[in-house]
Amino acid sequence: MNPLSLDLSIFNKFDFEKPPVGVKFLFEKPEGIERLDKNLAFCAMPGEAQERGTPFYTDINNHACPPGTYTLGHDLPPAVEGGYFGVALQAFKEPYANRRIYDILPRLDKDTINYIAFSPLDKLSYNPDLLIILNNDVSQTEIIMRAMSYTTGEILTSKMTNVLGCAWVYAYPYKTGKINYITTGLGFGMKIQKAFPEGRQVISIPFAWLPAITHNLQEMPWVPPSYTDEGEEIDKKLFDDFGIPFQF
């Protein structure tokens, strides 16, 4: 694994309840990192890194949830991919509704990812494929997403299906290079696993975005004047200066 080449300390300024987690997809077993000594759902593994406070790696045998292995390219039983299992869970009324998601779900290619490394930010020693920020509140999410758009104008998008949420946290940003964020409590499996507190955001940032995000977080105001108690007076002046009619 390439050593960490970016200064990510700006994320410490958020004072998150729990630290971001760097995720690395690997073909070969990583050196100097211990294998996870338990089985977990894929969606719960970043939370495990937060709780442990130390890096670890997993292999296919660590995955306790079959949908997680599907995200990694492995097949599910025909009754699952056919949508019948989703009906039995009462997540869908008819198999066709469940079946449709399997045509759009992002997946990694089978046998291309054999190991996955997880590390909390303060112990991160490698360039992560994804930096996953968990358990943050909406005000923190707003700052990060504004940092994404600050120099790019990038559109804020959140993509998710109500099942197999792990596909949108891992495979989608990894394969597309796009930042994705989801709201916890909307995903069926994640709710069953109790992977996150509900009503928070999980942001998944591909490595290629991190230079721009970190730079913009250092440069832009985290609290623009319009957000402050004096914001209305400031905005009135700006509207007047630009000749924009506005009724306050």
Residue 246, pLDDT score: 67
Mean pLDDT of 36-65: 95
Q: Give the pLDDT of residue 248.
A: 55
Instruction: Examine the pLDDT at 231 and tell me if it is beyond 70.
Output: no
* Amino acid symbol at 55: P
Q: 52 Cβ partners below 8 Å, 6+ apart?
A: 120
Q: How far apart are CA 123 and CA 65, in angstroms?
A: 27
In the predicted model, is pLDDT for residue 213 greater than 70? yes
Structure tokens at 108: 């990694």
pLDDT at 40: 94
pTM value? 0.93
DSSP for residue 195: -
Q: Report in angstroms the alpha-carbon separations of 6 from 21, 42, 151, 160.
A: 15, 26, 19, 29
Q: What is the mean pLDDT of the chain?
A: 92
- For residue 181, the cross-strand partners are 203
pLDDT band at 229 (very low <50, low <70, confident <90, very high): confident
pLDDT tens sequence across 95-150: 999 999 999 999 999 999 999 999 999 999 999 999 999 877 899 999 999 999 99
Q: What angle do CA 100, 103, 105 make, to 5 degrees?
A: 105
